[in-house]
Structure 1
Amino acid sequence: MTDERTTMARTTRNTRSRRTGSAGITPARAARTIRTSAQKALEAGVQAASGVRQSAVGAFDALVKQGAALEARSRRAAVAKAEKAREAACARAEEARTKTVEAVSHLEKVFEQRVSRAISKLGVPTTKDVKALSRQVAELQASVDRLHRARARAAR
């Protein structure tokens, strides 16, 4: 039985060899086929790499544009916040200035009142007293002048 199997295996191998015969794959043809396949695989890899590269460049450009837009938005927001802060600071400064002017004005009035009371206690006449006195002196001067004219007419 072993002989039959061995013979059969040889027959199958021989049949295969006969089928390929002179049209069989030669080492040169196999090398060309492998080279062509490798070249096609390499070209496909290069094309894929080129596509990936173009995609990467496109994605990078898109990210750069998004970054520029984000920077512009951030800059506008920062400028707006800075402007609001400046306006708020100006408003607080104006409010403080107004309160300071009011406080100084109040202090001036208090100071004037105290000085006026101190002068009054010392017996120094006020501006009102001096004006009244000046008016009385002017009236007296006018009376004196009238009397001098009347005497001068009578003496003639």
Structure 2
Amino acid sequence: MTAPQNKSFPVSWDQFHRDSRALAWRLMNEEPFDAIVCITRGGLVPAAIIARELGIRVIESVSVKSYDYKDQGELEVVKPICQEIVDLDKNGRVLIIDDLVDTGKTGRAVQAMLPNAHFSTVYAKPLARDLVNSFVTEVSQDTWIYFPWDMDVSYAPPIRDGVGD
């Protein structure tokens, strides 16, 4: 018997837009928010959709690098959050948005910067699901999500062809 295969979950632009709007619907019960902080790069698209749906005009970004498409690495804050938003977190309602929470390494780092913020992701994996306040879809830890900006149109072999011998 072979070990379980890693799964892939390709997400189209249409699906990602629908899922981001579904997150906005969930956030309606939590608002009003004074600002959004999106974790770049993955949080840029859902933040734009959610900002539109909830009427939020102040959008900030934080750039944290922790892995590439294959490997988890050291956490590096490439672009910090501006002081105005950090100050707003003390008295206002700040919303953190990302595409995915996986191991929670990035999310924990951003939450440390904004300890009072509401943290939302479109997708969540079990290892860090409890880290976020709201999300839309849970996927298994061994699933790699291919976001629309990561993909190109190409042939995909049938699932059975990729299953063990």
Question: Structure 1-normalised TM-score?
Answer: 0.16
Question: Structure 2-normalised TM-score?
Answer: 0.16
Q: Larger Cα Rg: Structure 1 or Structure 2?
A: 1
Greater length-normalized contact order (CA 8 Å, ≥ 6 residues apart): 2
Greater fraction helix: 1
Greater fraction strand: 2
